[in-house]
A and B are shown apart, each in its own frame.
Chain A
Amino acid sequence: MRKGDRLKEKIIKKEQIGKWLEKLGKDYEIWAPVKKNGLVSFYPIQSAKEIYFDFLNSKKTPKDLFFPQSEVLLSFPKEEVGKEVKTILQKPRIIFAIRPCDAKSLALLDQVFDSEDYQDPYYVERREGILLVGLACTHPQQSCFCTSVGGGPFEKAHLDLVMADLGDGKYFVEALTQLGEGLMQRDDSLQDVQEKDREKLAKTKEEAEEKVKSKLVTKGLEKKLDKIFDSPLWDRVHQRCLGCGICTYLCSTCHCFALLDEKDKARVKRIRNWDSCMFPEFTVEASGHNPRISNRERMRQRVMHKFNYFVERYGETACVGCGRCIQSCPVNIDIREIIEEIRNE
C-alpha cells in the first residue's frame, strides 16, 4: 500500500460522528436513515442522534432524492406560458450511510438519465450536488443477493467515502474520491488506522460476505430470456401477482415515469410522476388498446427489462440484489425463484 493511500483511511469513534456531521452540516444538507412509524427511510437530519445506525436497509430506496416520485417540472401562471421554473438544491447534499447496493443502483440510473445521448437536467443537477457516504453492510439479509449481480456488502464503487462498523465502537473510514477526502479532512480528530483495525476490517468484511447466502447465476440470463418470450413459464410465475406497484416503487433501479399536466385557477403545472409497468394503464394506447393485457405480460416486462433489455442496452443487469421486492411483496413473489425457473426452462 502506498503512503498516500493510508492518508485516505481513518478511524472514527461512534461518539465522534456527531461532531463530524455538525461540521459537515455547515455546508451540506445531510440526509441519513431515520426510523419513523416503524420504517427506516432517508430524511434530512440536524443531529447524528436522529440516525438509526443499526438498520438492515431502508424501506424506500434513496433514489427519490435524485428522481422524486412526484416532481413539478414546469409551472407557470396561465398567462405566462413557457416560463420555466427549475428546482435547484438549496445546499449541496450528503447522503449519509447509503448501502453499497443502493449506490450501485445510482450508477445504473446514471446510464439512463445522464448518458451521452440524453441528459435529464433535473436528475443531473441533483446528482452533481450530492455526495455519497456509504455504510458497508455488516448484516446482509436472507433475501439479499448483491454478490450475484456484481455487488457486495463492502463494495466501494460509486461512493465518495465509505464507512464500516468494526463492532468495537469504531468505524473504519475510507475516502474514495477527492470530495470524499475533503469530507474526511473537515475533522482533524479522526484517528490514524492501526494494523489491528485493518485486521478487524478484513474479518468483518469476510463475515458479511458469508452472510449473503443466496447465490444466483445471472450470467447468460439475457440470452436465455431472448428465447423464452412465449414460454408457459410466464403463466406460472405471475399467478399470485396482485398487480400492485410495491416491487417497482420500492425497487432501487426502476425508473419509469409518466408526465401529467395539471391546471387550477391560477397555474399550469407539468408534473412527472413515477409509473409502474405492473399497472394496466402503463401501456394503454390512445385507441384504448392495451398490448399488455394481463399480469402475465406485465410481469414478463418487468423481468425482461431488468435482465434482458437493460443488459442489452447498458451491459449490466438492472438489479442490485437488495431484496426489497422479496421482502415487501404481499404474496411473497420471489425474484430469486423466478431467475432459477428461467435458468431451468
Chain B
Amino acid sequence: MQESEKELREVAKKLLLEKKVDLIIGYEEGTLPLRTRPIFIREADETKKLVWNFRCENNLCFYLKMAKERVGIVAKGCDIRSIIGLIKERQIKRENIFIIGVPCSGIIDRKKIEDILEGRELLEGIESDSQIILKGEGLEEKVDKDKLVHASCKSCKYRNPVLYDTLIGKEVSQGEGEEYSDVEEFASKSDNERWAYFNDEASRCIRCYACRNVCPACYCPQCFVDQSLPTWFGRTLHPSDTLIFHIIRTLHIAGRCVDCGACSRVCPMNIELRMLNKKAEKDVKELYHYEAGISLEELPPMATFKMDDPQEFIK
C-alpha cells in the first residue's frame, strides 16, 4: 500500500511538472478518523499530500463533469467504468483525461464500522494491509478489513482498471463476480413485502440529493425533480414523492450504473436502494448482454436499436 502511494505521488508530480495535465484530482487525509477526501492539486509540491488506501471511498468522477482543463484523475476500477460512461455519453473528452489507474481490492464501508461501534465514538483508526484497529474511549477492536468491505466491492470483477494511462502498483485478485442471488431472493417476495421494503427505505429520505449529485451517471443540468415550471413531482417527504424520485433515478441510470456504490455511501440516512439498481443491471445484462463502462466502442443499449433486441413487450 505504502509503495503504491509513493509511486502515485511521483507519477502525479511528473505529470504536473511535464505539463501533461493542469490539475490532479486524488485523495488526501481527512479531518476525522479513517476519513480521506478529494484533493485538487495544481502545484507539483502538493502531490506529497496524495494518499491511496482502502479508505478512498469517493468516486471522483463528479469533479470531471465540470472540469475544463486537462485533468489527471486517481481512479479505481469502478471509477474508470464511470469515466468510460462519461466519455461515451460525450460529457468529457478522452484526450482531456489522464487516468491514473489504481488496482483496488475493495474499499471499506464506514457504515459497517458504525455497526461495530454501536454508538460509541471512533477516536482513532489504525490500518495495516489486512486489518483495522478501532480505538475509542474504552474501546480497542481489531477488525479484518475483509469484513468491512463495501457490498459493491465484494462482487466487483473489475478491481483492475479496464482503461488507464498509467497503472499504479500491482494487479490484484478479482472479486467474486456478479452475484444476483440477493436480487433473485428479493424478487421472489410478494408485492406487498417488496413495496413495504421500498417504502420503509424511502421513508427515511431527507431529499438532500447527495445520491444523485455524487452519481457519475447523473449529470442533467436540471434534474426532473427540481423542475418547477411545471412541477413534475411533489417536494414532500411522503413516500409517493421520495420513492418516485429514487425509482425514476434507477430507471434513468439503468444500463449506465456501474455499481460503484457511491450513492449508498454518501446517504446520511443509511438508505439502501442498491437492490433496485442491481435489478436494473441484471435486466440490462439479460436483455441486451450489455455491461456498463467496459468498453469505449460498444454502443449503449438504450441509445441503439438492433433487430434482435427482445421485443416481448410489443403485443
Taken residue by residue from 304 to 345, chain A's Cβ proximity to chain B (1 for < 8 Å, 0 otherwise) reads as 000000000000000000000011101111101100000000
Give chain A's interface secondary structure class: loop
Given contacts A70-B236, A244-B213, contact A38 B270 (CB under 8 A): yes
- Flag the segment in A135-143, A167-175, A190-198 that touches B: A135-143
Contact partner of B236 (CB less than 8 A), chosen from A141, A250, A271, is A271
Given contacts A38-B111, A141-B121, A331-B58, contact A245 B31 (CB under 8 A): no
Contacts of B270 in A (CB 8 A): 37-39
Contact partner of A38 (CB less than 8 A), chosen from B115, B137, B206, is B115
Given contacts A38-B270, A250-B268, A273-B236, contact A56 B31 (CB under 8 A): no
Contacts of A249 in B (CB 8 A): 206-208
Taken residue by residue from 214 to 225, chain B's Cβ proximity to chain A (1 for < 8 Å, 0 otherwise) reads as 100000001000
Contacts of A337 in B (CB 8 A): 31
Given contacts A69-B237, A245-B209, contact A142 B268 (CB under 8 A): no
Taken residue by residue from 221 to 244, chain B's Cβ proximity to chain A (1 for < 8 Å, 0 otherwise) reads as 010001010010011111000000
Does the CB pair B214–A262 fall under 8 Å? no
Does the CB pair A55–B119 fall under 8 Å? yes
With an 8 Å Cβ cutoff, the count of chain A residues facing the other chain is 45
Contacts of B228 in A (CB 8 A): 260, 281
A-facing residues in B165-189 (Cβ within 8 Å): none
A7 at the interface (CB under 8 A from B): no
Contacts of A179 in B (CB 8 A): none
| A331 to B265 CA separation, bound complex (whole angstroms) | 11
Does the CB pair B35–A332 fall under 8 Å? yes
Given contacts A60-B206, A279-B226, A281-B226, contact A327 B236 (CB under 8 A): no
Contacts of A273 in B (CB 8 A): 235-236
With a 10 A CB-CB cut-off, give which of B35, B120, B213 has the most chain A CB atoms: B213
A-facing residues in B113-162 (Cβ within 8 Å): 114-115, 119-121, 123, 137
Does the CB pair A143–B32 fall under 8 Å? yes
| A260 to B137 CA separation, bound complex (whole angstroms) | 47
Contacts of B237 in A (CB 8 A): 69-70
Does the CB pair A326–B32 fall under 8 Å? yes
> Could you pull out 27 A-B pairs where Cβ atoms are within 8 angstroms?
A37-B204, A38-B114, A56-B121, A141-B121, A143-B32, A239-B38, A240-B37, A242-B62, A244-B208, A244-B213, A245-B206, A245-B208, A245-B209, A246-B208, A246-B266, A246-B268, A249-B206, A249-B208, A258-B235, A262-B231, A279-B209, A279-B226, A280-B226, A326-B32, A331-B38, A332-B30, A332-B36
10 A-B pairs with least C-beta separation: A244-B210, A330-B266, A332-B37, A245-B208, A332-B30, A70-B236, A273-B235, A328-B268, A242-B213, A334-B31
